[in-house]
Structure 1
Amino acid sequence: MFRDLIPELEHHFYIIAPDYPGFGNSSSPSREQFEYTFHNISTIIESFLEVLEINQYYMFVFDYGAPIGFRMALRKPEKVLGIVSQNGNIYEEGLGPKWETRKDFWNNPTNEKRDSYRTAFSRETIIGQYTEGTKECSVSPDGYTLDIAYTHNEDYANKQLDLIYDYQNNIKMYPDFQRYLRENQPKLLAVWGKNDLSFIYPGAEAFKKDVKNAVVHLVDSGHFALETHYKEIGKLIRESFK
């Protein structure tokens, strides 16, 4: 997803964009070898940065990256120089209507409810995640075609279903993430595809409650705002973190 953004930033920052375990080109250990939780993924990324001897950094967090990145910031706030949140939510007011159904699953988990989320990995659903809220023909098929290909990896769906179930623990940590912001006041840019149905734009505005100088910018796009607005977002990042 960063393929177009990186050229906009490469002369201004040293950039790394690792795939999480079980995602993209990173290894995908079995569920017996690795418990797929947001906490565990955050510790893997933390260790990865230590191996690279990256002691301080700016974070770009998106979707699942928000609870992963904010866990890291909460544990080691001195390492975080600033944060870009692109549809990376840490507020109750940023949760769209679909989360009510997920809360029902978390409160009353059954195999039937778990299996109902397998539709989240269908071709149609993935394409919709990329194109909903965008202008017609504005999204390249490259991103969603690659995502669809990754769904064929061994036991992909069950690993992702584990993360859907674990997401409830992210919401429980929202007050801690917000406390981190209030106490540390990092440089923060919240740039949001305002038509996102999953993480709705009040979640972007909410950052202003906790970060005095937060910059909030809405773009006319959906969840994957980089697909359509990478140049605008790149410019905002350069201007916000000079």
Structure 2
Amino acid sequence: MNTKSLVAAVAASIVGHMAQAAPLASTSSTTTYHRVMVDGVGIFYREAGPKDAPTIVLLHGFPSSSREFDPLIPLLATRYHLVAPDFPGFGQSDAPSPSAYVYTFDHLAQTTNALLEQLNIHRYTLYLHDYGGPVGFRIVLAHPERLQALVIQNANAYKEGLGAKWAGIAQYWADRKAHPEVLDTFMSLTAAEQRHTAGTSQPDRYNPDTWTDEYAHLSKPGQHEIQGDLLYDYQTNVASYPAWQAWLRQYKPQTLVVWGRNDPSFIAAGGETFRRDLPDAEIHLLDAGHFAIDEQVDEIARLMLTFLDSHLGKP
């Protein structure tokens, strides 16, 4: 073997050894789609990224599904492992009748935690949005040792963050039978659109298919009862705020807040107030609404990658 060939062979051997000893992050952002049975309920989830990288669990809001994370997942998946489930009653997961599945946030959290355990995911960063907040907080209160970091996006944990519309919802909590109009408004096409576009300065970044698809889902048989039960149970989340805040003070998780400051439902004060219990939290109020990913996905991805690389180490 001549000198040139010998050098090439040695270099190839070294590169091969390095690849085996320290695998590079995936160069693929392909999302795959899965469905498994969890406690008798079919649960759908999206997955992307290398499975040996740190895991980010993305928990969606109302009335969406894991689909809301479609713009964000490819921007993170080359460096992190992502799992985004649909809660029972949402997206592609089963929507059993309330007589077969009790629709409370306690139960959604139990099912979501059971899914993670079934997938053998025992360490993770949680991304919490809207309904994903009360689901995620219940999970971390039960299993604080599993949390590596929190990313909070318009997922409220303080009364200061409740916008004006919650006064009407409080009437529903007081007597749901006397105020059916609250639920009807909550599930209307107009409300579905406004959850995305209210307060936005960049309406051209919103795909109208999003809210028409969400409204079509809400119009399916059984959804009125399912969403009515969850809206009624939401009062347990407000009652739990002090417990969640005490947990934050006790465990002080590494936390990034990326809050759409134009959200009329969970107003900007809700994002800022996390500093009361987490003085070291990184808080960014973005020029966006309730579904901040719709118009600030690049900025959210940039902030997340910088934050996670700093606190978890580069994959």
- Structure-2 residue corresponding to 1:123: 189
| 1:26 corresponds to 2:93 | yes
Residues 137 and 54 of structure 1, relative CA distance in 2, 3 Å threshold: same
SS of structure 2 residue aligned to 1:216? strand
Q: Deviations over 1:37-60 (max 9, x none)?
A: 000000000000000000010000
- Structure-2 residue corresponding to 1:192: 259
Residues 110 and 88 of structure 1, relative CA distance in 2, 3 Å threshold: closer
CA contact (8 A) 1:46 1:72 kept: yes
- Structure-1 residue corresponding to 2:237: 170
SS of structure 1 residue aligned to 2:84? coil
| Larger RCO (CA under 8 A, 6+ residues apart) | 1
Q: Which has the higher strand share?
A: 2
- Structure-2 residue corresponding to 1:138: 205
SS of structure 2 residue aligned to 1:28? coil
- Structure-2 residue corresponding to 1:47: 114
Query: Hey, what's the Cα distance between the residues in 2 that align with 1:128 and 1:40?
Result: 28
| 1:105 corresponds to 2:165 | no
SS of structure 2 residue aligned to 1:81? strand
Query: Hey, what's the Cα distance between the residues in 1 that align with 2:136 and 2:294?
Result: 21
| 1:66 corresponds to 2:133 | yes
Which amino acid counterpart does residue 122 of structure 2 have in structure 1? N
Q: Deviations over 1:6-49 (max 9, x none)?
A: 01100121001100000000000111001100000000000000
Which amino acid counterpart does residue 14 of structure 1 have in structure 2? H
Query: Hey, what's the Cα distance between the residues in 1 that align with 2:219 and 2:264?
Result: 26
Report how far residue 115 of structure 1 moved.
4.3
Query: Hey, what's the Cα distance between the residues in 2 that align with 1:227 and 1:142?
Result: 12
CA contact (8 A) 2:149 2:254 kept: yes
Which amino acid counterpart does residue 230 of structure 1 have in structure 2? V
Query: Radius of gyration: which is bigger?
Result: 2
How many corresponding residue pairs? 241
Query: Hey, what's the Cα distance between the residues in 1 that align with 2:167 and 2:281?
Result: 28
Query: Hey, what's the Cα distance between the residues in 1 that align with 2:297 and 2:143?
Result: 29
SS of structure 1 residue aligned to 2:215? helix
Query: Hey, what's the Cα distance between the residues in 2 that align with 1:110 and 1:158?
Result: 12
CA contact (8 A) 1:193 1:201 kept: yes
Query: Hey, what's the Cα distance between the residues in 1 that align with 2:117 and 2:273?
Result: 32
CA contact (8 A) 1:114 1:161 kept: no
SS of structure 1 residue aligned to 2:194? helix
Which amino acid counterpart does residue 128 of structure 1 have in structure 2? Q
Point out 4+ residue stretches in structure 1 off by more than 6 angstroms: none
Which amino acid counterpart does residue 197 of structure 2 have in structure 1? T
Query: Hey, what's the Cα distance between the residues in 2 that align with 1:153 and 1:15?
Result: 29
Which amino acid counterpart does residue 159 of structure 2 have in structure 1? E
- Structure-2 residue corresponding to 1:38: 105
SS of structure 1 residue aligned to 2:149? strand
| TM-score, length-scaled by structure 2 | 0.75
Report how far residue 136 of structure 1 moved.
2.9
- Structure-1 residue corresponding to 2:142: 75
Query: Hey, what's the Cα distance between the residues in 1 that align with 2:223 and 2:249?
Result: 37
SS of structure 1 residue aligned to 2:266? coil
Query: Hey, what's the Cα distance between the residues in 1 that align with 2:195 and 2:259?
Result: 15
Report how far residue 137 of structure 1 moved.
2.1
The runs of 5 or more residues in structure 1 that have no matched partner are none
